[in-house]
Chain A
């Protein structure tokens, strides 16, 4: 297999994503029918006065771009993760990258996890697309293991929990039990629109988001599904690598 060549992407921070990856949107100040713009979004991610898109609710379906092509444009910028929920709200006229708030990063995260971060993944109603992409983060192309980041089998071996899915009612208790089994200090990472806001499942009586609401979240990674580069860049930004 030697002829297949080197497979790892050398620089994950500046890698190019091929094609028309649906990344960070930009909203122009063009005047449009505000009510129609707000209404066209399946999850209510768009707000008016001035217009904004909440990437925590956005399913990246591109319906708004299709209906209002002069107003909304999705760039291929995959650096979408942040540790402050409000930074996921993209405002009209702004075309700046999304960054983390350094003041909100707990000191022990840099001190203890910078060289080695072991994560336990829990799929709480996830539809398997984010899970496939998280698996891809550890493959030979993305190789997040080069930073000492890996997924482990037992919460007892873990430094943090990575949650996908809106948190179905039936998974609420297993999620809590898994989280409790992780020794402190521990971090919580939400991966995917469904985890951050419930996504298209928001409002369903079959989901139970109390865990997400009552705990401090250390990293929000938007996407539907999350691109491995979004996840890895978010985590290494959090760790201060």
Chain B
């Protein structure tokens, strides 16, 4: 199945040729989870602050569904 992936901050640098306006279309196995997807596209989990699946925050083990929009964010700090 395929999912759409958007990488925020400087995470796009982990994926050669990443274009933020396009995002990525990634093929993953049925039953794959967030951690599997990150391993597939080469983004280390330690570089990630949060992930959303179709607008809902999700953990590393959350299962993916076909055509989901997966947004991947860096850790944040601020004020």
Do A and B come from the same complex?
A: no
Q: Which residues of B contact A (CB under 8 A)?
A: none
